[in-house]
Amino acid sequence: MPGESFDTYQLGQEHQAVRDAARKISQDKVAPNAAKADETSEFPQASYEALRIADLHAPHIPTEYGGGGADALATAIVIEEVSRACAASGLIPAVNKLGTMPLLLAGSEPLKQQFLPPVASGEAMFSYCLSEPEAGSDVAAMTTRAVPDGDGWILNGVKRWITNAGVSRFYTVFAVTEPGAGTRGISAFVVDAENDAGVGFGAPERKLGIKGSPTREVYLDGVRVGPDRLVGAVGEGFKLAMRTLDHTRVTIAAQAVGIAAGALAAAGEYVTEREQFGHRLADLQAVQFMVADMGMKLEAARQLTYAAAARSERVEADLTFFGAAAKCFASDAAMEITTDAVQLLGGYGCTKDYPLERMMRDAKITQIYEGTNQVQRVVMARQLLKPR
């Protein structure tokens, strides 16, 4: 109706306060470490400590386990703001959520009490072990086995593309407990790399982007875990993995939004200062059109991501579609925006004197991990076409 107020269609004061706090920490304590982390391919420990002190390293952990109890939207905002400064550091809260989400969804209370408080306090990080050398998008092809041993289990196998492997202490590991049963024969377990014998790591992958976040293989050589390490029920691991990704694809969308926002800000600053042919680049219509498209795509991605985060918090029936849509759209937008940002800087965009080339390299992985964007389109299509 004319005159009706639409003030409610904005972030509330609490979420805005989260953004302000996360942006300040990211600008002051994370951004200064970003270039070095990329150059050396070393985990940005100083950034981690800054996020830990600010309680932004795992904001999603519920208060009953010592965490801040941030909802899905607040967590997405934290990841967005940290990724705006450093995409590799944005994976600290994102991967902590990915690794712990199976416990939050299906873990026993004793399991949560044992493994969530160390993550909340910053004593440990938590990673997620699903992919394997021959089982990426085809999860059912995994060969890692969990064989009953007395009242416990013995795990053997190799996991690949594990984010923050070697830095994290805890791992949610998916393994086959009933060979030949396909997706119904997969179960989930928690592994403690410090205390469970037989856990090893491969050499860090030499990557295009997010170099400050180590990616390694995880080796499980006769790792014995007790019955209390089972997450959920036997044979329910695949469903749990997919439920987890419904929630955490929102965090990758948030990371992509953050990378794109950082690129747009850097490019905008450059074109307003740089002069050619007697005019600022920002005064040229061709440049203005590029910037307008970048801003439009960024805001569309942000709004879709926030809508998906709200559905994640409420566990809505359409979360699967929105999680896939947000991840797919935001990462595609981030790739386009960072590429255009490099273009706006001309030759400088291709140098390490400016952060745009790093942001463009970082953006690419958001189109690939937690399910390639081709897989996301399959997920969305199935949701749209299934019988109602």
Which residues have a catalytic role annotated?
Answer: 370
Q: Which residue has the tokens 């089982």?
A: 135
> What gap in Å lies between CA 287 and CA 292, rounded to an integer?
9
Q: Which residue has the tokens 């989400």?
A: 101
> What gap in Å lies between CA 225 and CA 190, rounded to an integer?
8
> What gap in Å lies between CA 371 and CA 327, rounded to an integer?
9
How many other C-beta atoms can be found within 10 angstroms of the C-beta atom of residue 339?
Answer: 17
Dihedral sign (CA 283, 287, 293, 294): negative
Contact 127, 99 (CB under 8 A): yes
> What gap in Å lies between CA 343 and CA 357, rounded to an integer?
10
> What gap in Å lies between CA 235 and CA 196, rounded to an integer?
23
Tokens for 33, please give them. Answer: 């470490």
The crossing angle, in degrees rounded to 10, of helices 72-85 and 237-273 is 50
Contact 255, 90 (CB under 8 A): yes
Tokens for 303, please give them. Answer: 């709004």
Dihedral sign (CA 12, 14, 17, 23): negative
Q: Which residue has the tokens 């953004």?
A: 19
Dihedral sign (CA 148, 150, 156, 160): positive
Q: Is 124 helix (H, G, I), strand (E, B) or coil?
A: coil
> What gap in Å lies between CA 120 and CA 129, rounded to an integer?
20
Looking at the DSSP assignment, which residues form a beta bridge with residue 224? Answer: 154
Torsion angle (degrees, nearest 10) of CA 101, 107, 110, 114: -30
Q: How many residues does the chain have?
A: 388
234: left (phi over 0), alpha (psi -120 to 50) or beta: beta
